[in-house]
Structures are given as C-alpha cells and as structure tokens.
Structure 1
Amino acid sequence: MRVYHFVNKEYGIQDLQKRRLKIARLHELNDPFELFGVEFSNEDIRSAFHKMKTELTKKRGLICFSKSWHNPVQWSHYADKHQGLCFGFDIPDHHLGEVNYSRKRLVIDAERLKNPGNITFSFAKRFLFTKYSHWSYENEVRGFISLDKETEEKGLYFLDFSDSLKLKEVIVGSESDITRQEISDSLSGYNINVNCFKARLAFKSFRVVRQRKESLWL
C-alpha cells in the first residue's frame, strides 16, 4: 500500500539523512480521545481504559499515515503550514490498519474488563483504530510498533527505513524553501529510486497537486 507521512522541514531532513521515522507514543498524540473512543459513563470502564492506555504506552508506539497527500489541511497541521515535507512509503498491507471514524462512542460490556487478562493488545486494537468522525479528512492508516532497545535513542523511538517501510516519494511543500540540492544531499547513498518533486496549490479545487513546472523548484 502506498501511504503518506507529513513532517516539518527540520525533522523531515533528519529523517531522510538517518533513514528513519519517529515512533509516536499514545500520550503524545494530538487527539486526547486516542483509545478513549468508548462510552465512559461506567466508572469501572473508565478506570480499566486509563490503565490500559498507561500499559500500552510503555510497550507500543505508532506511526500514522494517510492514504493521500492532496489535503491542504494536513499540510497545514502536520507539515508546518506547507513549508515541510510529505513522504510516500510502500508498506505491506498487513502491517497497517485503517482508522474507523465514528460519530458515537463505542459501547463495551464492563464484564469483559473484570479479568485483567482480557486487556490485551488484540483486545485494544478495535479502540486503537477508532476516532471521532471529524478526523475523517485525514484518511488515516496506522501501524503499531513494539518498543524495544533497538528502536530507542535518548528516550525517543524510531523505525528504520526497510523493505517494510520503503521510501518511494519525497514531496516538498508549496511554501517550502527546501531546495533540490538539500533533498539530493539528504538521500545521498540511498539505493532505492525515490521520486522527488515540489507541490503547489491547485487552480480549480481545494487540493494540493504536483508542480509540473520544474523550473519553479530551485
């Protein structure tokens, strides 16, 4: 599956140079309802899910992608107001899960939470892939990654580019001052063909599209 990851200039250039993406932790995400898409009127359910989130944050992180790079809102929110970058990756489908967007909180039977053994990652996956419907413009897919010493650096966690995270596109934001040379230098020695190009705002729609005039990207 071809998926897209938005990032600002500073971290985007670092990602290219070091061939990796940062793994986000559950408590770092910008949606406070992450894992909390459940109806919480029952105190036992509230308590169980807060504990579950705490435990999952210690063991797993995630990387979020979109199935499209054309939405200007995502460029504004996640790529520093169109000044950053968007990476296109080819990732095996079985490593990703599509987010389900819902207008209503999910209902769960509190009895299932009485046994702590029921609170497993497989049990939590339904809730980890559910978000409020107003986020649907992101068209999100996400991958969950186990946190271990191999992915850790100074308290942060990263996932290296690989056959399961294969960089195929680098898209430079329409308002970005990132040059061709900067991208070329950052990709120096990378032995996979990467399609690099500049974006622009569409003339007839509210979309971000490819800049076809190569001379306008220095």
Structure 2
Amino acid sequence: MIENITSTDRFLYHYTKSSTAIDYILKDRNIKFGAYTKTNDPKETKTWEFTVGTNGSIDYGKYRDAEESAWLSNELKGRARVACFSQDSGPLTGCHLSDIFRRGFCKPHMWAHYAENHSGVCLVFDRQKLSQAITSQTPDGEIIMAGPVSYIDKGVVPDLYGDQAYLINADVLEAVGREKYPALHMKTHYKTLFFEKMIDWLNEAEWRFVIFSDTDNDVFIEYGDALVGIVFGDGTSKETIRTAMQLGRPYGVQCTGLTWKNCSPWYDFGNPLYLRKPWGELD
C-alpha cells in the first residue's frame, strides 16, 4: 500500500480514534454508516430550506414553503446514512519518496481533527472490495450513492434557473405524490445535496458512501477482506499498535506508521513493532 502505487482509485482512508478502531471497527469487522445530520459540516447538520416552484402552470400557491421545506429536508436527511473517507491525490508516480505528500493517509489536519491529534489510526480500504461489500449488504430498494466530494463556494442567493436542488418541483410532486417524491428529488440533485462542500474543506479529498435507508438506526456493513492496511500516527501508543496488529494480522492486514523528520512526514520503516513475526508474537 506504499511502494509502486500509481493509481489514485485503488484505496480509501478512514481516520478515527484508537478506541473506535479497536473496540468496534477492527473487533466487529464492520464500518458504521451514521446519520447524515451528525457530521461536522453545518450544511449537513442544519435543516435545509426549500421553496416550492413549478416549471409549468400549476397553481403552487396552495403550498406553504415552510411546511413543505421542513418535510422534504427531514425526508432527505433523516433517511441518509453516510460513511466518509479520504482518497489519494494525483498524480502518483510510484515513487513513495515523493508521493507521500499526495497519499490519503498522510494528511496532518485529518490526523489532528479525526484521529486524536496524530495518536489514532488511519484504516486503509480497497475501494472496489468495499463498494462490493456495501452493495451486497444493502437491502433491495434502498439507494446507494458513492463518489468524490466536489468543493465549491456558492452564494446565498440561489440560481433558480440552473441548479434547482433547493426547489420543490410542484409538477413532479403532484404527479408522483409525497411518498415517491423525496427519492426522485434525491436522485436528481444528489450531487449538490450530498456531495458538495465549501472549498475550505478541499484538502480532505473526501470520498463518501451514502445509503438512502428505511431504517431509523445506524447501518453497519461488514467489510470482509476490503480492509488492507492500518497506518498509525506519530503519537499512537505501543499498546494500540500491538492490539490493532493482533486484530488485523489473521486477515493479512498490512501495518505501518508515520513519523516526522524535521518538517517532513516519513514512514516508520525502522520500528520493530511492524516487523512480521509468528502469529501473536509482537515486541
């Protein structure tokens, strides 16, 4: 997962606390899709504001914007479950000496914000295998959305003649009814609603999966052999490293760490903790 990597589409990276990784993700061998409203972006946690409009001649004056807006926002956000990852940034040359700055597991601000200020872990997943696991375990009829997040700053005044993501189309609503409308609106505008963030988030290089689910609870997906690596931070404790390696070793999970030499990140190649030994034997 370090040397001779030239594809930016191969891996996904999930930063997390040591306790979360050990007590849940590695021990239970699954990942959680949490409520969309529990992310750390106000765009996603706050109630969306929609207006009612028409592309035809329907009298939409009978609709109350505030009521319809609250209804659709709750339908879209309330059913969305999300799992977030980082990805590699191109181009990758295959030379790990220079590519380290573009790798998804080497983002200092991600370590600081999501992985206990460099003392947590970054889990490395094979993207194709993870996608297959999510697809195979999602019930028929539930919608899966996946892809990279786009970063764009949009003003508060909407472009009603362009992107109509925050416009409730009364024509469609009356044609299909309230039960079917939220899914159609989501399919039409999912990129704006679920896969756009302000440019300030750009360096996260986020890739996310969103499941439009019928459950009111979190969704858990067994990742199987999709977990291929664990990267430990510069301050991750030896106890965490030992325990995580013991949990991952039976499944062939590669482990390494990041360290810092003056102003530069580097791989902790010389650390004997990462040397392979017979099962269960660690320094």
Pairwise same-fold verdict (TM > 0.5): yes
Is residue 56 of structure 1 aligned with residue 76 of structure 2?
A: yes
C-alpha contact 2:111 2:233 (8 A) present in aligned 1: yes
- Listed as ranges, the matches of 1:153-168 within 5 Å are 155-162=217-224, 166-168=226-228
**Identical columns (%):** 22
C-alpha contact 2:51 2:168 (8 A) present in aligned 1: no
Is residue 171 of structure 1 aligned with residue 191 of structure 2?
A: no
SS of 1:119's equivalent in the other structure is helix
Partner amino acid, structure 2, of 1:81: N
Cα distance per residue 1:22-59 (max 9 Å; x no partner): 212111010011287x8x6x754884554333213443
C-alpha contact 1:99 1:130 (8 A) present in aligned 2: yes
Partner amino acid, structure 1, of 2:41: D
Partner amino acid, structure 2, of 1:198: G
C-alpha contact 1:35 1:53 (8 A) present in aligned 2: no
Is residue 65 of structure 1 aligned with residue 54 of structure 2?
A: no
Query: RMSD between aligned alpha carbons?
Result: 3.1
- Listed as ranges, the matches of 1:1-218 within 5 Å are 1-14=10-23, 15-34=25-44, 43-44=51-52, 47=66, 50-67=70-87, 68-92=104-128, 96-105=146-155, 107=159, 108-109=163-164, 112-114=168-170, 115=173, 116=178, 117-120=180-183, 121-126=186-191, 127-147=193-213, 155-162=217-224, 166-179=226-239, 180-187=241-248, 189-190=250-251, 193-205=252-264, 208-215=265-272
Residues 209 and 44 (structure 1 numbering): CA distance in 2 closer, same or farther, change over 3 Å?
Answer: farther
Task: Give aligned pairs, total.
Answer: 206
C-alpha contact 2:52 2:168 (8 A) present in aligned 1: no
* Structure 1: gaps (5+ residues): none
Residues 35 and 187 (structure 1 numbering): CA distance in 2 closer, same or farther, change over 3 Å?
Answer: same
Give distance in 2, aligned partners of 1:212 and 1:129. Answer: 36
What residue is the counterpart of 2:277 in the other structure?
none
Cα distance per residue 1:83-125 (max 9 Å; x no partner): 1110010122797311010011463447653225553231241
Larger Rg: 2
SS of 1:175's equivalent in the other structure is coil
TM-score, L = length of structure 1: 0.79
Give distance in 1, aligned partners of 2:35 and 2:19. Answer: 20
C-alpha contact 1:113 1:119 (8 A) present in aligned 2: no
TM-aligned CA deviation for residue 203 of structure 1: 3.4
Residues 90 and 216 (structure 1 numbering): CA distance in 2 closer, same or farther, change over 3 Å?
Answer: closer
Partner amino acid, structure 2, of 1:157: V
C-alpha contact 1:69 1:86 (8 A) present in aligned 2: yes
Cα distance per residue 1:111-157 (max 9 Å; x no partner): 653225553231241221011110001000101124467xx9xx443
Residues 111 and 99 (structure 1 numbering): CA distance in 2 closer, same or farther, change over 3 Å?
Answer: closer
Residues 111 and 157 (structure 1 numbering): CA distance in 2 closer, same or farther, change over 3 Å?
Answer: closer
TM-aligned CA deviation for residue 75 of structure 1: 0.3
Residues 134-143 or 100-109, more deviating = 100-109
Residues 102 and 210 (structure 1 numbering): CA distance in 2 closer, same or farther, change over 3 Å?
Answer: same
Give distance in 2, aligned partners of 1:61 and 1:28. Answer: 10
* Structure 2: gaps (5+ residues): 1-9, 54-64, 88-103, 133-144, 275-282
C-alpha contact 2:17 2:115 (8 A) present in aligned 1: yes
